[in-house]
Every structure is written in structure tokens, then in C-alpha cells.
Amino acid sequence: MKKKLLSAVLAGVMVMGTLAGCGSSSATETEKETKADTTEAAAQDDTAAAEDTAAGDTAAAEDAAESTEAAGEEAAPTSEPIRFMNTKIEIDEPLKAFAKKYQEQTGQEVVIESLGGGVDVNGQLKNYYAAGNMPDIFAYAADSYQSFKDWLAPLDGESWIADTDYAFTADDGTVVGMPFAVEGIGVTYNKDILDKAGIDPATLTTIDAYRAAFEKLDGMKDELGLQAVCSVAAESGQMNWSTGNHMMAVYIAQGQDRSDKSLIEMEQKGEIDKERMSQFADWVKLLFDYADQNVLISGTYDDQLALWAQGKTAFITQGNWIDPSLDTYNATFACGIAPAAFSAEETTGILADAPAVWGIYKDSDKIDACKKFLEALATTEEGQQALVIDCGMVSPFKSCKLEPTTPLAASMIPYIKDGNTYAWDWLMQPEGIAQNATGAVFELYAKDQLDKEGFVDMMESTIADYAAQQ
């Protein structure tokens, strides 16, 4: 019966994944969920326009390049725009602003194509590759490297490599990805609400502390204007990346030394630690029980974010990447990230790492120009300003002295400086396991179609089956 339930949910996920890959040709830059394939026609128009005006702009572009350190004096601008596929919709506008400034300074146009939060990024890239329409620069996560390893240009020798501990390397040690942010996951809270309830977020270091806080807040919902205590979304067709990756990350690494890879190595072999998974099941159930049930069962990422950003819940199961979206909701309340303390054992750190990198397509005819653009983002004052201040991200580069002013990124800094972080080992999960397997288990648990024992057992069998197929 449980296998039939899982099969039914996974069938729905496949449909949603197919739909997510289909964009509307009427999308504009300002739409919340821009799809990559909506920009193809625009990119072609921009290319034609660039060719028409290139001759007239050459002298001005050369003068701008000579007077600006920002994009590297050695690489002349190409007549065609660089296509840059961004997978973080929340930094779409700041990236486009930097690209515009970069073009003004160097003459090199860069077209930013941003994917929405529900898009199957790997599927989109594979569609582009099959169509011979690959972007010049694209973002990818460590867990997707095996799919794209043959498409990546080597980046050895770039100046930013010595300035970071997060450069992504291929199996042979070749650098093939530039990091752009350190991100953090825990339980994100509205401090203003917690203050009104007399709850100190610094005390949220065990599941018992969270349970007491949730119970107190639940009893004060009317007084505090809350719709629910937590904002959680677990519909696997849209949110498997959140549950199967970010929520699962807590089971895999919370409280573990960064060098301890035992749990992720077990998962890679199709095994789980049943005692730890049982503790994790209690944690997930606690979050689900105190969540808004409509958003939990059928909500999108935007639904989940809006509920919290509008002050209708005290907690949300998203990380610091939601910072750039807070202005959209005029969210001015104090907030931060607390540990995802899922067991009775105290844990005081958050999960923090550089989860994604930017790579260059090896068959691009603009590789040198792409390297210069990435170098400008990594090493110039303008680039660091764009990534840290405008995008609200924590820089992965040691020489960067800027600290983010956005609240959630800023709240990560003490954890990072104190070395109080746990690794994003979920990036080492078998590729596609969240989308194709474990995300559906979370959905069934959210719908009360599994009890605690059923959740643990189905996780065990699902992970074993998936690993056996790899």
C-alpha cells in the first residue's frame, strides 16, 4: 500500500516537473517566476541589435574599458551578448543592474536569464543542450556536477581561486566552478514576534525548546495576529527541492563535524541511520503540525514566503536566500536564523556552505569574455558590492571586507566567524533523489498518510531502491 502511495505522488511530481520546464513567451524581466526559455527570442533580438550598433559603439566601449578596472583590460568585448543563466530568481534584479553597469564600462553586453524557484534547473539545461542553445555561463549545484561535467570549461589560473575555500573542482582537481555566495539553513524566525511572546531565539537549541515555543505561540495566535506558527510547504511537485534537499540536510549533517561524512556515505549506499531518522521524523512532524495546513499541502514557494514575510507566521523553513525578496513584502521586522535543533541533544550551529557555483560552457565562443565577467563579479569593488550588498549574500571570498546588510545573511556571520556551522552534505546525495524519490515521502507525511514509523520505513526503502538504480 505504501509503495502505491509513493508511486501516485511521484507520478504527480513527474507531471509538475514537465510543466515547470515549459515557459510562456510573454514573460518579462519583472515577472516573479521568469523561465529561461522565455528569453531566447529576446536574446536573439538583443544580438541583432548589438550587431547593428557595434560599429558605432566601438570607440566609446574601448574608452570605457581603458578607464575601468572592473572588467579586465585584456579581453575586448564580443559583438554578441554573453548569456548568463541565473538560478536564483531573488537576485535577478541586482544581477541585471550589475550587467548593465558592466556593459556601460566595457561595451560587453551580458543578458541575465533567471529561472523561477519551481523550475527543474537540470532539465532546463539538458533541454538547452539538446537544442544547441546553451547559455555561456550557467549555475549548477555540486549534486548536479556529474550531469554537466563534460560541458564545463576549465577555470584554472583565474585570480579569484586563491581568494576562496569554495572553488568547485572536478575529479581531477581542475577548477570548473566559481562560488558566489555562502548560504545558511536553519529555522528562520521573526524576532519581533518572538520578542512579543517572550521567547529568546538563542534558547532554541533542542527539539524540546522548539516544542515549548511552538505551543506558546500557538496559544497566542490571535493576540499576535498569526495564521499559524510555521510556514512550511511540502507539495512534492513544487517543493521537493526544499523538503528533499534543505529539510533532509538536517538529518544528514545537523550537529555533525564538517569532516564527518558518515551519514551521507550511508545514503549514497542506500542506507539510513534508523535511530537518527526516527528523531528527524519527530522534528518534521513538529514543523508540519504547527504549519498552515493549506500552504503545507498545496502551497508554492511564493505562498510559503508570503505567509511569513507578511508576519502571519513566526517561523519559515527557508534560508538566507529569501533576504532579497523581503522588500517585496515591505518586511521590516527583525529576523534571524536559529539552529534546526531536531533532537534532544543540543546543537547550536546552522548549516552553511557554498551550494552552487557559476560555470562556463566549454563550447562557448565567448569563454575569455565570460571569465572577465566572472572576475569582475569576484574581485572588483563593484562586483563585491553587487553580490554582498545588492544581492544580500555572504561573500565566499576572503579579501571581501563587506558584510551583508540584509538581516538573514547578517545573522549568519557570527556562526561563520565562530566556526559554528555544519556542512551542506545534502549536495552529495544521489542526483535527483529529492525530485524523484524522497520529496514524495515528505508529502505523504505532511498529508498524514504516513505515521512516524511509516515515514522512517518508507525513507529507508525509498533511499535503498533509489541507490540501487544508480
Let me know: does 320 contact 335? Beta carbons within 8 Å.
no
| CA–CA dist 401, 383 (Å, integer) | 13
β-pairing verdict for 350-353 and 421-422:
parallel
Cell numbers of 8, please? Answer: 501516485
pLDDT at position 343, please?
98
The Cα–Cα gap between 319 and 241 comes to 13
pTM of the model: 0.73
Are the C-beta atoms of 183 and 394 separated by less than 8 Å? yes
Residue ranges of the chain assigned to CATH 3.40.190.10: 32-182+355-398, 184-353+420-469
The 3-class secondary structure across the chain, one letter per residue, is: CHHHHHHHHHHHHHHHHHHHCCCCCCCCCCCCCCCHHHHHHHHHHHHHHHHHHHHHHHHHHHHHHHHCCCCCCCCCCCCCCEEEEECCHHHHHHHHHHHHHHHHHHCCCEEEEECCCCCCHHHHHHHHHHCCCCCCEEEEEHHHHHHHHHHECCCCCCHHHHHECCCEECCCCCEEEEECCEEEECEEEEHHHHHHHCCCHHHCCCHHHHHHHHHHHHCCHHHHCCCCCEECCCCHHHHHHHHHHHHHHHHHHCCCCCCCCHHHHHHHCCCCCHHHHHHHHHHHHHHHHCECHHHHHHCCHHHHHHHHHCCCCCEECCCHHHHHHHHHHCCCCCEEEECCCCCCCCCCCEEEECCEEEEEECCCCCHHHHHHHHHHHHHCHHHHHHHHHHCCCECCECCCCCCCCCHHHHHHHHHHHCCCEECCHHHHCCCCHHHHHHHHHHHHHHCCCCCHHHHHHHHHHHHHHHHHHC
Rg for the chain (alpha carbons), in Å? 22
Q: Which CATH superfamily does the domain covering 32-182+355-398 fall into?
A: Periplasmic binding protein-like II (3.40.190.10)
97/404 Cα distance (integer angstroms): 18
Hey, what CATH class is 184-353+420-469 in? Answer: alpha beta
> What is the distance between the alpha carbons of residues 388 and 402, in angstroms, rounded to a whole number?
7
Q: What's the pLDDT at 171?
A: 83
- Which residues, other chains included, contact 30 with Cβ-Cβ below 8 Å and sequence gap of 6+? none
Q: How big is the CA angle at 145 (ends 140 and 167), to the nearest 5 degrees?
A: 70
Which among 268, 264, 242 has a CA at the least distance from the CA of 254? 264
What lies within 8 Å, CB to CB, of 162 at 6+ separation is none
Would you give per-residue pLDDT tens digits along the chain (470 residues)? 555 556 556 655 544 443 333 322 222 233 333 333 333 333 344 433 333 433 334 333 343 333 334 444 455 677 899 999 999 988 999 999 999 999 999 999 999 999 876 678 889 999 999 999 999 999 998 878 889 999 999 999 999 999 998 899 998 999 999 999 999 999 999 999 999 999 999 999 999 999 999 999 999 999 999 999 999 999 999 999 999 999 999 999 999 999 899 999 999 999 999 999 999 999 999 999 999 999 999 999 999 999 999 999 999 999 999 998 999 999 999 999 999 999 999 999 999 999 899 999 999 999 999 999 999 999 999 999 999 999 989 999 989 999 998 999 999 999 998 889 999 999 999 989 999 999 999 999 999 999 999 999 999 999 999 999 98
Q: Nearest CA to 389 among 184, 26, 91?
A: 91
φ, ψ at 100 (rounded to 5°): -65, -45
- Which pLDDT score, from 0 to 100, does residue 94 have? 96
